[in-house]
Amino acid sequence: MIKIAVLGFGTVGSGVVEVMAENKVSIAHNAAEEIEVKYILARGDHAESPFAGLVIHDFSVIESDPEIRIVVEVIGGCGAAYEYTKRALLAGKSVVTANKELVARHGQELIAIAKEKNLNYLFEASVGGGIPIIRPITQCLTANEIDEVYGILNGTTNYILTQMIQCGTSFDTALRQAQELGYAELDPTADVDGIDACRKTCILADLCFGRHVPPDEVKTQGIRGVDLADVAYARALGYKIKLLGRALRSGGDKITAYVAPHLIKNSSLLSNVDGVMNGIVVHGNAIGEAMFYGAGAGKRPTASAVVADVIDAAKHFKARKYLSWEPAAPGYVTDADEMPMRWYVRVKASLTAIGTKLGNVRFVTRRGAPPDEYAFVTDPMTHSSLHESLEDMEVLSHYRILD
């Protein structure tokens, strides 16, 4: 019998405890030993929960209980979560987490501590919720040189964009719907402004390319600016607008990583990843392209990944050999704006100005457009040269095209 403690009793924490109870028999079979939650660290008493008897308020009880061999951290953030994770590892307990912020910022340090103590720090749930992605990258694609990883990494923004695309709902209304359905927080900043996708992009880049990518070096643009006019032009071009996190080799030993809305082709599988679902594409020099699809958030899908990590930790009390990355030299992450791409642009300007500044572009029209609005697709160019070309025009929007 293996005893574990769960830190945090919010959506994911309660999902973990529920799935552990519900699938107890098959989990014991898969782990080759029974696993039981001994403590739940929470602020309130959760008197209404069937697991109220397990709730405690003092982390040091867990820290000093030698029976606890695995700690699940689902508090979130980099405050208490960071402190407790360190203390748990130093106390000889493996740690499993769904905390992308903590892994993106401090993963390298925490993995190093875990290795030194010959323990595990596992975080399958930190990217793509329930979707198996960390192990596939680190155990199944090891024969490849990975060139690129990108995907729809945030369910909230994908829900909003899907509503805009499929139902013609405005951004504000779709955001409100997402909040009513519990897909978006009351303060939706982390999702809508791409911060959540940025953290996940960093973790993917860390694992795919082997060096630490700090979130604040990743240019991040969310979906607040996306307008139904852009959705309509994209449709006319045979594209959909999706928020992508993307990391790719940019020559030498350097990489580029960024988060931004993109126009992606209707014929691509990724453009059909709708609603709150996530899809992650990995490109390697042996496998070509692979995609992983599933629920990127939510109570039970996230618990699915967390509990799988608990089972893995229970089967391998010694440090797993596949999860780690090195520090990066300064300048490792190059500026995404310097990477030439085709752009979709919507401006208020004269045709003459556009012709003069941008040369041959491909124009696209939509019904009901104001007479001085033009939308077009450019040849591949860097963001700075695009910016220069658009200098004297009123730019309504401009988004990257994923070719």
Distance CA 9, CA 11 (A): 7
Which phi and psi (to 5°) does residue 72 adopt? -100, 120
Q: Is 284 in the site for a second copy (CB under 8 A)?
A: yes
Binding mask 321-360 for a second copy (x = CB under 8 A): xx--------------------------------------
Nearer to a second copy, 217 or 312 (CB): 312
Residue in 2, 7, 12, 27 binding a second copy, rule: CB under 8 A: 27
Residue in 60, 118, 142, 189 binding a second copy, rule: CB under 8 A: 142
Nearer to a second copy, 93 or 283 (CB): 283
Positions marked catalytic: 200
Nearer to a second copy, 54 or 131 (CB): 131
Q: Is 289 in the site for a second copy (CB under 8 A)?
A: yes
End-to-end CA distance of the chain: 52
Distance CA 10, CA 321 (A): 31
Residue in 7, 40, 62, 131 binding a second copy, rule: CB under 8 A: 131
Q: Is 121:85 a contact under the CB 8 Å cutoff? A: yes
Among candidate residues 317, 320, 314, the one with its CA nearest the CA of residue 28:
314
Q: Is 117 in the site for a second copy (CB under 8 A)?
A: no
Nearer to a second copy, 142 or 189 (CB): 142
Q: Is 130:315 a contact under the CB 8 Å cutoff? A: no
The tally of CA atoms less than 13 A away on the side-chain side of residue 374 is 19
Which phi and psi (to 5°) does residue 279 adopt? -145, 135
Pairing of strands 362-364, 277-284: unpaired
| Segment interacting with a second copy, rule: CB under 8 A, options 17-25, 101-109, 192-200, 238-246 | 17-25
Among candidate residues 229, 382, 247, the one with its CA nearest the CA of residue 328:
247
Q: Is 76 in the site for a second copy (CB under 8 A)?
A: no
Task: Give the binding site for a second copy (CB under 8 A).
Answer: 19-20, 22-23, 26-27, 29-32, 124, 130-132, 135-136, 139-145, 210, 269, 272-273, 284-295, 298, 300-301, 303-308, 310-312, 315, 321-322
